[in-house]
Amino acid sequence: MRRVGFVFKVKQDLIEEYKEHHKAVWPEMLDALRRNGWHNYSLFMREDGLLFGYLETPDSFQAALEGMAEEEINTKWQEFMAPYFEGIPGLPPDQKMVELEEVFYLD
């Protein structure tokens, strides 16, 4: 299992709304994530909107993203979430994630 960490940024004025949407992620989206190897997936946020994500996946982060790219529900979710993020205009949120290098692990 590969451990993956990534970051991206939620717009400061939309943080609370973003959190509310994540209290009720669409069931079809949750199913798609599971189908594509997103396990132990968590999101953590700083006060300023910096978001840290963590997941475990059997292959690579790229493979997990590519699997999700094939899911129609993911396209809808990314379009819905796009206004919440800072970053590169015109790209869906899942293409703005910056994967972090793992530098330490304690089991």
**Residues catalogued as catalytic:** 22
Measured CA to CA, the distance from residue 62 to residue 55 in angstroms comes to 12
Q: Contact at 8 Å (CB) between 91 and 97?
A: no
Residue whose pair of structure tokens reads 């910096």 in the numeric block:
50
User: What tokens appear for 94 in the block?
Assistant: 């899942």
Q: Which two tokens stand for residue 91?
A: 């790209």
Q: Angle at Cα 80 formed by Cα 79 and Cα 86, nearest 5°?
A: 80
